[in-house]
C-alpha cells in the first residue's frame, strides 16, 4: 500500500510558500468529490445549532452528552461566534445564509461538532465552563452517537474531517512553568491519539488548521509581553505539523494536510488594504449589538465591521473568515 501525501501550505498567492511533502500518495485529494465536512474544534469553527448549548455548540454539551438520530437530523444551523458565517460555512456554503439551515439540505453538508471555548483535553488545561466539551470528548461523542446516523447517507470516503484546535490551549497555558516545546508535543500527541478514533471509523481525509497569529490580537498587539507570544505560537504550530506528518506516516492510507492559516492571516494583517480592511489592531465595542451592521457609528466605530480584522478580543470578523475560506477553497481544489 502506498503512503500518504503530507503538505503544509501557505497562501497560493502569498509570495512565499512553506511546503513539505512525502511524495507517495494513495490518490489525488479531491475536494470537489467530497459531499460533507465533519468539523471539530473551538469557537473559530463552532456553529450554533437549535439543539446545541446557546453560544457554544451545534448539539449538546457535557451534561447533554448523548443524543439520538432524530435529534441530530432535526438540528439546524443558526449562527456562529463571529456575528456572521465562519470559515466552515463559507467553505461548504452550508449555513452561509441567514436563518435556519439543515446540514442535509446543503450540496456540501456541514456537520460541526466543535464547541466554543474547547481545549484539547483536561489533562493539560482546565475547562472554560463545566458544560464545555474538549475536542477529545467531541470526537468520542461523535463516534458514540453521531457516526452511525451519518454513515447511513454519507460515505467516509466522501467526507473531509476538519480540525482547528489549540487556540485556547496555547492561550490558557501561556504562563505555565513548563518546557513549551515538550508541552505542545504532548498536547498534539493527545489530539492525534483521539483522531485515531475517526480513522478507526473509516475516515481517510484530514484537514488540520494551524494557529492564527494570536500574539497580534487586540489583547496582545500593544503589550510588551503578549500571552501567548510569537515564539509559543510558532512552537505549537511546529509540534502540530510534526505530529500530523507522523500520523500520515503511521497510517499510510490517509491524506492529511496542514493548512498554514497563520501565514495566510499574517499576510492579511500585514497588507490589510488589499482585502478591504482598515483596522487590524482593535475591534468595534458594539460588535454584538443587533443593529451593528448599519448603526456602527452609534457605538463609536468609524467603519463597518467588515472593515475590521478582529471581531472582538479573540475572534476574527466574518469578513476575515470569508477571506481565509476563499484561499483555503482554492487550495483544496488545486
Average pLDDT of the segment spanning 213-239:
96
- Ranges of beta strands (E only) in the chain are 6-9, 36-41, 48-49, 51-52, 59-60, 77-79, 109-112, 159-164, 205-209, 255-259
pLDDT band at 222 (very low <50, low <70, confident <90, very high): confident
pLDDT, tens digit (0-9, with 9 covering 90-100), for 153-204 = 999 999 999 999 999 999 999 999 999 999 999 999 999 999 999 999 999 9
- The pLDDT value recorded for residue 23 is 32
Would you place residue 149 in the very low, low, confident or very high pLDDT band (cuts 50, 70, 90)? very high
| pTM recorded for the entire structure | 0.92
Is pLDDT of 26 > 60? no
Under the banding of pLDDT at 50, 70 and 90, the label for residue 210 is very high
Q: What is the pLDDT of residue 11?
A: 35
**For the chain, domain boundaries:** 6-333
- Above 80 in pLDDT, residue 9? no
Distance, in Å, from the CA atom of 288 to the CA atom of 157, rounded to the nearest integer, reads 39
Q: Single out the residue of 254, 142, 236 nearest to residue 189, CA to CA.
A: 236
> Cα 178 to chain center, whole Å?
26
Model confidence at 334: pLDDT above 50: yes
pLDDT of residue 333: 85
Is 80 exceeded by the pLDDT of residue 15?
Answer: no
In the predicted model, is pLDDT for residue 224 greater than 80? yes
Cα separation, 58 vs 113, whole angstroms = 6
Mean pLDDT, residues 11-24 taken together? 34
Q: Rounded to whole angstroms, how far apart are CA atoms 34 and 81?
A: 26
Mean per-residue pLDDT, 244-267? 96
Average pLDDT, rounded, for the chain: 92
pLDDT band at 28 (very low <50, low <70, confident <90, very high): low
Q: What is the CATH number of domain 6-333?
A: 3.40.50.1110
- Look at residue 226 and tell me whether its pLDDT is greater than 90: yes
pLDDT digits (tens, 9 = 90+) for 119-141: 999 999 999 999 999 999 999 99
In sequence order, the β-bridge partners of residue 316 are: 310
Amino acid at each position: 500500500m502506498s503512503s500518504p501525501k503530507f503538505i503544509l501550505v501557505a497562501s497560493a498567492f502569498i509570495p512565499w510558500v512553506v511546503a513539505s511533502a512525502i511524495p507517495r500518495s494513495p490518490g489525488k485529494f479531491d475536494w470537489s468529490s467530497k459531499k460533507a465536512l465533519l468539523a471539530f474544534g473551538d469557537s473559530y469553527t463552532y456553529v450554533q445549532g437549535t439543539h446545541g448549548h446557546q453560544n457554544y455548540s451545534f448539539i449538546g454539551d457535557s451534561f447533554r452528552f448523548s443524543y439520538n438520530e432524530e435529534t441530530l437530523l432535526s438540528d439546524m444551523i443558526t449562527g456562529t461566534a463571529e456575528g456572521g458565517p465562519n470559515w466552515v460555512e463559507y467553505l461548504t456554503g452550508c449555513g452561509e445564509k441567514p436563518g435556519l439551515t439543515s446540514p442535509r439540505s446543503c450540496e456540501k453538508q456541514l456537520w460541526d461538532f466543535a464547541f466554543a471555548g474547547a481545549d484539547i483535553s483536561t489533562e493539560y488545561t482546565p475547562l472554560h465552563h463545566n458544560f464545555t466539551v474538549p475536542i477529545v470528548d467531541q470526537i468520542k461523542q461523535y463516534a458514540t452517537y453521531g457516526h452511525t446516523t451519518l454513515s447511513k447517507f454519507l460515505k467516509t470516503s466522501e467526507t473531509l474531517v476538519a480540525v482547528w484546535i489549540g487556540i485556547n490551549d496555547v492561550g490558557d497555558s501561556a504562563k505555565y512553568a513548563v518546557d513549551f516545546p515538550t508541552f505542545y508535543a504532548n498536547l498534539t500527541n493527545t489530539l492525534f491519539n483521539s483522531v485515531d478514533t475517526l480513522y478507526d471509523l473509516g475516515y481517510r481525509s484530514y484537514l488540520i488548521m494551524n494557529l492564527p497569529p494570536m500574539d497580534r490580537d487586540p489583547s496582545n498587539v500593544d503589550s510588551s509581553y503578549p500571552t501567548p507570544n510569537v515564539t509559543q505560537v510558532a512552537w505549537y504550530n511546529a509540534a502540530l505539523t510534526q505530529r500530523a506528518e507522523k500520523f500520515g506516516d503511521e497510517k499510510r492510507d490517509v491524506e492529511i494536510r496542514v493548512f498554514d492559516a497563520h501565514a495566510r492571516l499574517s499576510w492579511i494583517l500585514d497588507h490589510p488594504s488589499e482585502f478591504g480592511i482598515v483596522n487590524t489592531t482593535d475591534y468595534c465595542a458594539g460588535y454584538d449589538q443587533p443593529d451593528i451592521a448599519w448603526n456602527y457609528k452609534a457605538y463609536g466605530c468609524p467603519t463597518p465591521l467588515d472593515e475590521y480584522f478582529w471581531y472582538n478580543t479573540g475572534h476574527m470578523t466574518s469578513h476575515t473568515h470569508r477571506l481565509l475560506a476563499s484561499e483555503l477553497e482554492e487550495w483544496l481544489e488545486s
